[in-house]
């Protein structure tokens, strides 16, 4: 009957909600108590209500199956992930710092290249980057913002340290689910929101809209802002439609736009052509403009680059911003923070060893059985060596590969992703691994870091399969609502002032 937290064993991982079986962390105490007061039948009923809400609200994602695109309901776990406000404030500051440094870096790379001249960032890496766009050299977008929208993936290791695993600077997705997850939770557990100070997340579309408006090249006029989608076959189409709807802007496809001889962008409407000022594009660089990039692209609009370079059109994110979202460049972010901001990074990188450096290489070769070795230019987990699970033959093979082409390899220690209790079909709870993707909106990162907006928490993705580390929704991943909880406000409200040393994990 009901959840028994004493039976909840997190093994040797860091659990987001529990310090030990039966011992919730401070910020999670109320929700833990609330949940174990529910009977199995009540729990099942709430879960059903959540599933129904998701269906009725039409929250879905698209997967390909047998040549057709199928809308699938969003997999959702009703137990929230809870983060104490104090911890979140520090994380938020870390993200602001990081995104500011990344924008400095991209601006520098396409212009003066001080960081290369000062030998902090090796020129050879630039030449090999697949996301470097020569077309952007010499350009400065308005306010020097390249990565307007950044989604960084954070993971927590066994000892509780929160690391940045990667920065998504091209077309990061997931923010609509962050907001919708909260809507579902409010429908299903309204009581919890009455008794706990949970910081709201639904401001994002308004913040995004304001940021896009401020980018307009014609600041005095009412700007025309559109969201450019690859169309209904894209897995994030739901999000594109959702964001357009939330912001009240037009959802356009490449064929709805054209660039005139005046190098201005227009959209085709029943009233005739209408000038477009800002495009929030959800299409990768290489596909946005067949005139400048891939000629075979049918998703984009010829001439967008021309309009952008002439300053007649703003693009978010700017073309070429992806140069900073690359496995090897990632390893340099702590150095960028130091170089551009003169500060130590608040949020650590996962320690990375670049085989191009002799010292790192020696370390990697000596510890092949403990590390994860990744090729620099591959993504999606291809061509990797997972040390602890490898055979001696595999390690020998990688030793040869690394020695033959050290620049192409980097290595990281294997992380033990943190867990959180997740409701199973039989109304028991088990730990499941998760990560966190907060989103950062940059307005003026080079001069005023404080102008950035960071989502409250972010999207928590959870691997629904036992032991799995894959949180991707197309591969059995789901999501949880993410609560940033102000425990101090709660205590003040209930008149129980206690010592502030009370543990906030």
How far separated are the first and last CA of the chain, in Å rounded?
29
Residue whose CB is less far from another protein, 257 or 337: 257
- Which residue in 122, 217, 273, 413 binds another protein (CB under 8 A)? 273
Shortest gap between Cβ of 57 and another protein (angstroms)?
8
Site string for another protein, 330-369 (x = CB under 8 A): ----------------------------------------
Measured distance CA(278)–CA(144) in Å, rounded: 16
- Evaluate whether 490 touches 197 at the Cβ level (below 8 Å): yes
CA atoms within 13 A on the CB side of 358: 0
245 is a site residue for another protein (CB under 8 A): yes
- Which residue in 19, 26, 128, 250 binds another protein (CB under 8 A)? 250
Shortest gap between Cβ of 254 and another protein (angstroms)?
11
383 is a site residue for another protein (CB under 8 A): no
> How would you classify the pairing of strands 265-269 and 272-276?
antiparallel
Residue whose CB is less far from another protein, 262 or 343: 262
User: Going along 146-243, which residue ranges are E strands?
Assistant: 149-156, 162-168, 225-228
Shortest gap between Cβ of 252 and another protein (angstroms)?
6
| Helix H or strand E segment including 422 | strand 419-423
Site residues for another protein, 56-115, by CB under 8 A, read 56-58
Spatial CA neighbour of 216 closest among 162, 165, 272, 148? 148
* Peptide bond preceding 26 in cis form (omega within 30 of 0): no
- Which residue in 137, 268, 362, 403 binds another protein (CB under 8 A)? 268
Six-digit token pair at 139? 């350009």
Could you give the 3-state DSSP secondary structure of residue 398?
helix
Residue whose CB is less far from another protein, 227 or 411: 227
* Peptide bond preceding 313 in cis form (omega within 30 of 0): no
Q: Which spans in 79-153 are helix H? A: 85-110, 114-117, 123-128
Concatenated DSSP letters of 372-389: EEEETT--TTTT-EEGGG
51 is a site residue for another protein (CB under 8 A): no
Shortest gap between Cβ of 259 and another protein (angstroms)?
14
302 is a site residue for another protein (CB under 8 A): no
184 is a site residue for another protein (CB under 8 A): no
Six-digit token pair at 154? 């954070």
206 is a site residue for another protein (CB under 8 A): no
Query: Of 43-51, 240-248, 291-299, 401-409, which segment contacts another protein by CB under 8 A?
Result: 240-248
267 is a site residue for another protein (CB under 8 A): yes
Residues that bind another protein (CB under 8 A): 56-58, 231-232, 237, 241, 244-245, 250-253, 255-256, 267-273
């Amino acid at each position: 009957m009901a959840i028994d937290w004493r039976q909840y064993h997190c093994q040797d991982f860091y659990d987001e909600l529990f310090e030990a079986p039966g011992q919730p962390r401070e910020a999670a105490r109320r929700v833990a108590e609330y949940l174990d007061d529910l009977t199995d039948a009540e729990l099942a009923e709430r879960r059903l209500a959540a599933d129904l809400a998701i269906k009725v609200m039409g929250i879905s994602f698209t997967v390909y199956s047998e040549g057709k695109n199928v809308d699938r309901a969003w997999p959702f776990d009703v137990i929230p992930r809870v983060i104490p406000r104090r911890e979140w404030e520090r994380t938020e500051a870390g993200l602001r710092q990081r995104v500011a440094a990344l924008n400095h870096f991209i601006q520098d790379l396409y212009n003066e290249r001080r960081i290369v001249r000062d030998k902090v960032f090796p020129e050879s890496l630039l030449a090999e980057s697949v996301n470097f766009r020569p077309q952007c050299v010499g350009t400065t977008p308005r306010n020097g913002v390249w990565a307007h929208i950044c989604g960084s993936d954070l993971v927590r290791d066994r000892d509780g340290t929160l690391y940045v695993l990667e920065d998504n600077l091209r077309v990061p997705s997931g923010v609509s689910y962050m907001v919708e997850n909260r809507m579902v939770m409010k429908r299903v557990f309204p009581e919890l929101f009455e008794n706990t100070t949970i910081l709201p997340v639904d401001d994002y579309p308004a913040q995004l809209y304001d940021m896009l408006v401020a980018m307009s090249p014609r600041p005095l006029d009412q700007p025309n802002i559109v969201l450019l989608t690859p169309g209904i076959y894209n897995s994030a189409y739901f999000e594109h439609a959702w964001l357009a709807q939330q912001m009240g802007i037009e959802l356009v496809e490449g064929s709805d736009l054209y660039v005139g001889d005046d190098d201005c962008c227009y959209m085709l409407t029943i009233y005739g052509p209408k000038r477009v000022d800002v495009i929030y594009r959800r299409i990768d660089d290489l596909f946005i403009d067949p005139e400048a990039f891939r000629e075979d692209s049918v998703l984009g609009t010829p001439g967008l680059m021309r309009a952008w370079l002439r300053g007649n059109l703003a693009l978010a994110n700017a073309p070429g911003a992806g140069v900073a979202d690359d496995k090897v460049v990632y390893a340099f972010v702590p150095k960028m923070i130091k170089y551009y901001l003169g500060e130590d990074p608040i949020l650590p990188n996962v320690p990375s060893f670049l085989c191009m450096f002799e010292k790192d290489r020696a370390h990697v070769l000596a510890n092949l059985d403990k590390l994860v070795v990744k090729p620099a230019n591959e993504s999606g987990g291809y061509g990797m060596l997972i040390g602890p699970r490898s055979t001696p033959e595999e390690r020998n093979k990688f030793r040869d590969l690394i020695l033959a082409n050290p620049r192409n390899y980097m290595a990281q220690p294997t992380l033990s992703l943190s867990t959180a209790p997740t409701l199973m079909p039989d109304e028991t709870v088990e730990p499941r691994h998760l990560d966190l993707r907060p989103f950062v909106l940059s307005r003026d990162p080079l001069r005023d870091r404080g102008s950035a907006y960071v989502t409250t928490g972010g999207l928590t993705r959870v691997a629904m399969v036992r032991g799995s580390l894959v949180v991707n929704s197309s591969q059995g991943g789901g999501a949880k609502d993410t609560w940033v909880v102000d425990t101090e406000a709660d205590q003040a409200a209930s008149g129980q002032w206690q010592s502030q040393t009370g543990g906030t994990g």
